[in-house]
Structure 1
Amino acid sequence: MKKIAVLGLGKVGTLAAELLHQSGFQVVGIDLRAVSKPLPFTVKQLDLNSADDLAAELAAQDAVLSCLPYHLNVQIAEIAHKAGIHYFDLTEDVPTTKRIIELAQTAKGLMAPQCGLAPGFVGIVGASLIGELDECRSCRMRVGALPQNPTGLMGYAFNWSPEGVVNEYINDCEVIEDGERKWVSAMEWLENIYIDGVRLEAFTTSGGLGTMCDTYLGKVANIDYKTMRYPGHAKLMNFFFHELLMRERRDEAGEILVHAKPPVNDDVVYVHVASEGTVDGRLQRREFVRAYRPMEVAGEQRTAIAWTTAGSVVAVIEMVRAGKLPGQGFLKQEDIVLADFLKTPTGAFYSA
């Protein structure tokens, strides 16, 4: 794998492309719009809704990374499957991933969705903590991408895709509870969490577990994923989506929220993963708790959500190139060894 196309040159896509270029890949970045700054890799303008044009471009590549909104990924995955090349994305959308799993059954390349932060890195960490126990009774995974200096009652800024946020706030969430696989509503199961003395609330959101319920059903009695926000956020979002019925107007909901709470540069990504179980018959708890902040990556200061998301998928791609992961079929994030991930040039960012 040498040649890779990166689709979508927003903050995350551009950084992912720069990191791949820095790692020695031949990168072509593709976007509908012209980029506003010079980049160290080839850039092309292309209508990404045109299946024929995209197929012609991907025929010359070894792999494709989609950094586009989730609703575009099925078509891209189908084109990659037909071309016999590797496919990577950042999606949290469950139906999209189910379709990619179907494609992977006859794929010549690797089909690897959900390679971002959550799902993605958080699942790699969760699997690692589960593996430290002889028997695991629970694994709780929480991630929050937040402004460091929140304002207003919502305490939030839309540094991530509004389509993705709305999707995970509305769609049902898969969990394992008391050994049973269940679907529960989003923005429920509210709890308090403290990280570095900062009080946060956590609540269920869709897609963060990836395929972990498939992997651990019958092995771990309780698994769930929650998003972390500042206190009071869930109440306001439940009012917005359910009492005001904005769940029926998703596109408009995203526009309203981004207009009210635009992105900030000073953000923080909190990761809190905990597993409980036994080692040699004694009850133990294992934790991975981090607060990731903006830092300089590829010569520029990057937001925490940009480098944690882009860095995760680039580290996975580096592992595939190095033969540390399969080159064909479907890749589950929980099958990625955390220690190997952290040894990659890009995965090393997460060791701080």
Structure 2
Amino acid sequence: MKKIAVLGLGKVGKLAADLLLGSGFEVTGIDLSPSAPDTPYSVKALDLSSDAGVAEEFAEQDAVLSCLPFMLNKRLAKIAHDAGIHYFDLTEDVATTKSIIELSATSKGLMAPQCGLAPGFVGIVGADLIASLDDCRSCKMRVGALPQNPTGLMGYAFNWSPEGVVNEYLNDCEVIEDGEIKWVSAMEWLEDIYIDGIKLEAFTTSGGLGTMCETYLAKVKNIDYKTMRYPGHAAQMNFFFHELLMRDRRKEAGEILINAKPPVDDDVVYVHVAAEGTKDGKLARREFVRGYRPIEIAGKSRTAIAWTTAGSVVAIIEMVRDGKLPNKGFLKQEDISLSDFLATPTGALYVA
């Protein structure tokens, strides 16, 4: 794998392209309206929501990485599958992932969705903590992408795709509870969490577990994923979506929210993963708790959510290239070694 196309040149896509270029890949950036003609890699204008020219472009690549809204990925994964190349994306959408799993049964390349932060990096960490115990009774994964200096009742800024956030807040959530796979409502199971003395609230959101419920059924009795926000956020979002019935107007909901709370540069990504069980016959708890902030990469300051998302998928791509992961079929995040991930040039960014 040498030649890779990055689809969608927003903040995450541009950063992923920079990281891939720095790691030795031949990169082509593709976007409907490229806005950075001075990039050190080739950039092409192409409407990826249309079929025209997409298959021909994919045929020139060894792999593609989609940094586009989730609703485009199912079709693009099919085109990559038909071209016989590797496919990577950042989706949290459950239906999209199920479609890609079906494609992987006949793929010539690797089909690897859900390679971002959550699902993605958080699942790699969770699997590592589970493996560190002789018997694991629970694994709880929490991630929060937040402004460092929140304002207003919502205490939030939309540094991530509004379509993705709305999807996570409204779709049902898969969990393992008391040894059974269950589906529960989003924005429920509210709990308090403290990181570095900062109080946060956590609640269920869709898609963060990826394929972990299927993998750990009958092995871990309780697994769930929650999003972390500043206190009071869940109440505001429940009012917005359910009392004002914006759940029935998802596109408009996303437009309203990002207009009210636009992105900020000073953000923070909190990761809190905890597993409990037994080790050497004694009850034990393992934790991975980090607060990631903006850093400079390739001469530019990058937001925490951008580099933790782009960095995760690029580290995985590096592992595939270097033979540390399979080169065909379907890739589960929980099958990725955390130590191997952190040993890659890009994965080293997460060592803190």
TM-score by length of 1: 0.99
Residue type at the aligned position of 2:195: I
Equivalent residue for 2:256?
Answer: 256
Whole-angstrom CA distance in 1 between matches of 2:254 and 2:306: 19
Whole-angstrom CA distance in 2 between matches of 1:149 and 1:5: 35
Contact 2:37 2:43 in 1 (8 A): no
Whole-angstrom CA distance in 1 between matches of 2:298 and 2:309: 15
What secondary structure, in the 3-state scheme, does the structure 1 residue paired with 2:142 have? strand
Contact 2:9 2:34 in 1 (8 A): no
Contact 1:9 1:29 in 2 (8 A): yes
Question: 1:288 and 2:288 equivalent?
Answer: yes
* 1:70-109 mapped onto 2 (5 Å cutoff): 70-109=70-109
Contact 2:202 2:229 in 1 (8 A): yes
Equivalent residue for 2:345?
Answer: 345
What secondary structure, in the 3-state scheme, does the structure 2 residue paired with 1:52 have? coil
What secondary structure, in the 3-state scheme, does the structure 1 residue paired with 2:95 have? helix
Percent of residue pairs bearing the same amino acid type: 79
What secondary structure, in the 3-state scheme, does the structure 1 residue paired with 2:6 have? strand
What secondary structure, in the 3-state scheme, does the structure 1 residue paired with 2:64 have? strand
Whole-angstrom CA distance in 2 between matches of 1:299 and 1:57: 30
User: How many residues are paired up?
Assistant: 352
Shift of 1:36: 3.5
Shift of 1:5: 0.4
Residue type at the aligned position of 2:9: L
Shift of 1:38: 1.5
* 1:97-246 mapped onto 2 (5 Å cutoff): 97-246=97-246
Whole-angstrom CA distance in 2 between matches of 1:36 and 1:308: 22
Whole-angstrom CA distance in 1 between matches of 2:298 and 2:97: 30
Contact 1:66 1:89 in 2 (8 A): yes
Whole-angstrom CA distance in 2 between matches of 1:71 and 1:222: 30
What secondary structure, in the 3-state scheme, does the structure 2 residue paired with 1:309 have? helix
Deviant stretches of 4+, over 3 Å: none
Question: Greater shift after overlay, 32-41 or 185-194?
Answer: 32-41
What secondary structure, in the 3-state scheme, does the structure 2 residue paired with 1:99 have? helix
Shift of 1:264: 0.3
Equivalent residue for 1:10?
Answer: 10
* 1:243-322 mapped onto 2 (5 Å cutoff): 243-322=243-322
TM-score by length of 2: 0.99
Whole-angstrom CA distance in 2 between matches of 1:196 and 1:83: 48
Contact 1:4 1:64 in 2 (8 A): yes
Shift of 1:37: 5.3
Contact 1:51 1:75 in 2 (8 A): no
Whole-angstrom CA distance in 2 between matches of 1:32 and 1:6: 12
Whole-angstrom CA distance in 1 between matches of 2:18 and 2:295: 15
What secondary structure, in the 3-state scheme, does the structure 2 residue paired with 1:286 have? strand
Gaps of 5+ in 2: none
Equivalent residue for 1:61?
Answer: 61
Whole-angstrom CA distance in 2 between matches of 1:273 and 1:34: 37
Contact 2:4 2:64 in 1 (8 A): yes
Whole-angstrom CA distance in 2 between matches of 1:288 and 1:225: 14
Whole-angstrom CA distance in 1 between matches of 2:2 and 2:34: 25
Shift of 1:34: 2.4
Shift of 1:35: 1.4
Whole-angstrom CA distance in 2 between matches of 1:5 and 1:36: 16
Whole-angstrom CA distance in 2 between matches of 1:184 and 1:53: 41
